[in-house]
Structure 1
Amino acid sequence: MLNIMEVHETNQMIEQEKLDVRTITMGISLLDCVSDDLETLCTNIYNKITTKAKDLVATGQAISRDFGIPIVNKRITVTPISLVGAGACKTPEDFVQIAHTLDKAAHTVGVDLLGGYSALVSKSMTPAEELLIRSLPQALSETEVVCSSVNVGSTKTGIDMNAVKLLGTIIKDIAKATADRDSYGCVKFVAFCNVPDDNPFMAGGFHGVTEGDTVINVGVSGPGVVSRALDAAKGKDFEFLCETIKRTAFKITRVGQLVAQEASKRLGVPFGIIDLSLAPTPAVGDSVGEVLEKIGLETVGGPGTTAALAMLNDQVKKGGIMASSYVGGLSGAFIPVSEDSNMINAAAQGCLTIEKLEAMTCVCSVGLDMIAIPGSTSAATISGIIADEAAIGMVNQKTTAVRIIPVEGKGVGETAHFGGLMGYAPIIPVNQSSCEAFVNRSGRIPAPIHSFKN
């Protein structure tokens, strides 16, 4: 239970420091919707989502009103559609029909985003999984709130380079299909290595096959709270700094725990996990980059950035784990360039480069996230970037991801605008050296030696 002092601190964090619960996400299994008839399958999917999630938005609004805690998004994740649609879908267009069904169901219940138009191909692709991947340009351009992810590798299996090669072309095609919106379709797609089953954040959220029928996962965010807390740590040593971050992460996670338990009780759905990630927004004062700069960097991206981010990520997790018995998802610090005001500025100045971002992904929660690059970037280069990031995840036994936007018709120095929480991003250069011969090798990069632990 929260005592009166914690209530006062929580009110201050909400009113002055931009604390919010970023999302209440309901995970819904669609395995019992499976049919070999596409029309029946779509009907089953629509009926299950609209039945299970019918009260999700209203409940989130009621909790926000009753407790005075901002809840920014209400979302849904579903079982990876490549599994659900395998028996009924014979063409990419068949999978697109399911995407339209998901979009319709999401609009009916009023959620902001729906994740799970996904495929898990870390070792190899089934015919159905390849069909879903090939459907992505049409599916993501013709739907509004459907998000997609493809897991291309894991520490236990290695990296499916056939899928990595295909995704380079697919991402280019998604960008072209949504060129009139600064290639916004790419914002709704992410390629993963070691993807978690219980992530409430988009675009990578889906309802894993190890989950129950329905579950409530909550993502809580508070970079503004951490930033304000660090004002008291100016000039102090690392011990004081780490203790400050850890204590603050504990308080942030307790707020998420309160919301998660209340949502679970009101909806009659089991509580899953709290994702305690520091997820920034484009608003000034709600920036992970600002936190890193208060730790002692002149500009995020400069020397010391990776070390500062590693420390921040670790202390956030240590504080959060003490606040909840069920911490999961990604949890740590996100570095989405377009969604973080200080990172936007650093990228525009040339201080934050794609190479430095890749180094930072070795120690943060996700990977190369919301990065705008020239629309002329080749498919092979995009595949190479995905392969590099997947290798970091595979070798280091951590989740990594790539959400990159080759903005059609724009080049370095121009700006892509995505709107809302997605923000805007300066288009940054990528290395022009070709990796085409590497990407064109078929097959799989094998798992690292330390994956064999049986």
Structure 2
Amino acid sequence: MITRDEVLETNDMIDRERLDVRTITMGISLLDCASQDVDMLCRNIHRRIVSLAGDLVSTGDSIAREYGIPIVNKRITVTPISLVAAGACHTVEDYVTVAKALDRSAQEVGVNLIGGYSALVGKGMTPAERLLIKSLPRALSQTERVCASVNVGSTRTGIDMDAVALMGRVVKATAESTADSDSSGCTKLVVFCNAPDDNPFMAGGFHGVSQGSAVINVGVSGPGVVKTALESAKGADFGQLCETIKRTAFKITRVGQLVAQEASRRLDVPFGIIDLSLAPTPAVGDSVGEVLQTMGLEQVGAPGTTAALAILNDQVKKGGIMASSSVGGLSGAFIPVSEDAAMIQAAQEGSLTLEKLEAMTCVCSVGLDMIPIPGDTSAESISGLIADEAAIGMINQKTTAVRVIPVIGKQVGEWAEFGGLMGGGPVVPVNTRSCADFVNRGGHIPAPIHSFKN
């Protein structure tokens, strides 16, 4: 039982250390909305979302007022649209029509973002999945709240390299279709390997088919809280360092547990998971990079950065699991460049490179996230980045992802601005040596030997 006293203990975390509940996300199954007619499908989707999520925003606001806990975003995830719309959508335009219906529904209920304009491929694409993927540039340039994801592989299935090659072209086309806003469409598009189906964080959230009709998931974030706690442990050995992170993560998770339980009760929707992810914002003091520097690094990117991130990620998970039996999603530490003040500075000063970021993704929660790259980067190079990250995820049995933004018209060192939580950052260099012959081979990379566990 969570008591009000436990919440009151977090007042300093909220007031001075930027602790917040980053999102209450309602997952909604759209499987029973399927129809052979696009217009009927859109009506069914709208009716379903509005009937279930109509009170989501007001409920989140009332919980925030009552407990004094900032709840930054209210969001929705839905069943991957490639599954729901396969019977009705026979053209790219049909899928764009569905994306617009999602956008209107999200606007009507007042949520910040809606995720699930997604396709899950790992061993081949159906015609419906291929159409949805090809629709992404238009869908993301013609909507405001829709977020999209494509899962191109897993440890159990291997990697669909046809999908990887296609996604390089799609990312580039999405950048071009939103060139007037620093290619911001790409901030709402993630390419996954081993995507979780209970992720409340965007842009990669969707409602997995293994879940029920509706569920409440909560994402909690508190890098500023962890940084403050670690300042009291300067000079301590690694045992004390780890214990400090773990205890702090425990307290943060308890706040999320309270919010999740209250939202579940008030909305009469089952509670799903708490995602305890140290997700930064562009504000100084709310940075995962600053946490790593407090651990003893002069700057993010210095030797030891990957080890420090591994410690942080593991202890956050351990603390969260101590506090709640329902920790899930991505839980750990995010390293999005454009959303993290210390990461931005390190990238600007040359301490943090794309290659070092790739090494860090072996131990963090996701992967290459929110990284502006030159607008003239080839589609094949983007596919190569996706393939590299997917391979890391596949071999290491973890979730990895790529969310890079080829900023059309901008080169290395120039600034790209995305606004809000998406922040902005310097364009970082990408190795210009060609990988075209590799990514265009086509076909499927088989699953690794350790995938056979039956």
Scaled to the shorter chain, the TM-score interval is: over 0.9
What is the identity, as a one-letter code, of the residue corresponding to 2:220?
V
Verify: 1:407 aligned to 2:376, yes or no: no
Matched, 1:437 2:441: no
For 2:232, the aligned partner's letter is A
Offset at residue 262 of structure 1 (A): 0.2
1:317 aligns with 2:297: no
Q: Does 2:243 match 1:238? A: no
- Give runs of aligned pairs for residues 280-291 of structure 1, distance below 5 A: 280-291=280-291
Q: Number of aligned pairs?
A: 454
CA distance in structure 1 between the partners assigned to 2:209 and 2:58 by the alignment:
27
| Distance apart, 1:122 and its partner CA | 1.0
**Shift, 1:88, TM fit:** 0.5
Secondary structure of 1:369 counterpart: strand
Hey, what does 1:252 align to over in structure 2? 252
2:36 — aligned with what?
36
Is 1:306 aligned with 2:309? no
What amino acid maps onto 1:21 in structure 2? V
- Residue 240 of structure 2 aligns with an amino acid whose one-letter code is F
| 1-structure distance, mates of 2:289, 2:282 | 11
Query: In structure 1, how many angstroms separate the alpha carbons of the residues matched to 2:86 and 2:12?
Result: 50
| Alpha-carbon separation, structure 1, partners of 2:442 and 2:242 | 46
Name the counterpart of 1:156: 156
Which residue is equivalent to 1:394? Answer: 394
Question: Aligned-pair distance for 1:3?
Answer: 5.3
Q: Secondary structure of the equivalent of 1:75?
A: strand
Residue-by-residue CA offset, 1:25-45 (whole Å, 9 max, x unaligned):
000000000001111111000
One-letter amino acid of the structure 2 residue matched with residue 286 of structure 1: D
Name 2:142's counterpart in structure 1.
142
Q: Report the CA distance shift for 1:413/1:319 in structure 2 as closer, same or farther (over 3 A).
A: same
Task: Name 2:119's counterpart in structure 1.
Answer: 119
- Name 1:263's counterpart in structure 2: 263
After TM superposition, list the pairs within 5 Å mapping 1:328-347 onto structure 2: 328-347=328-347
Shift of 1:2: 4.4
Give the distance between the partners of 2:263 and 2:388, measured in 1 at CA.
39
Deviations along 1:153-174, whole A, 9 cap, x unmatched? 0000000000000011110100
**Secondary structure of 1:148 counterpart:** strand
Structure 2 Cα separation of the partners of residues 48 and 230 of structure 1: 45
1:8 deviation in Å?
A: 3.9
Alignment of 1:50-61 (within 5 A): 50-61=50-61
* In 2, Cα distance between equivalents of 1:267 and 1:7: 21
TM superposition score normalised by structure 2: 0.99
- What 5-or-longer segments of structure 2 have no aligned partner? none
CA distance in 1, matches of 2:291, 2:2: 27
Determine the structure 2 residue equivalent to 1:374.
374
Provide the TM-score with structure 1 as the length reference: 0.99
Following superposition, the deviation at residue 6 of structure 1 comes to: 3.2
Amino acid at match of 2:299: T
Deviation at 1:9, TM superposition (A): 2.5
What is the rounded CA distance, in whole Å, between the counterparts of 2:273 and 2:8 in structure 1?
25
Corresponding residue SS for 1:118: strand
In structure 1, the partner of 2:427 is 427
| 2:185 aligned residue | 185
The one-letter code of the counterpart of 1:77 is T
CA RMSD of aligned residues (A): 0.7
| Cα contact 2:7–2:67 (8 A) shared by 1 | no
Percent sequence identity is 75
**Unaligned residue ranges in structure 1 (runs of 5+):** none
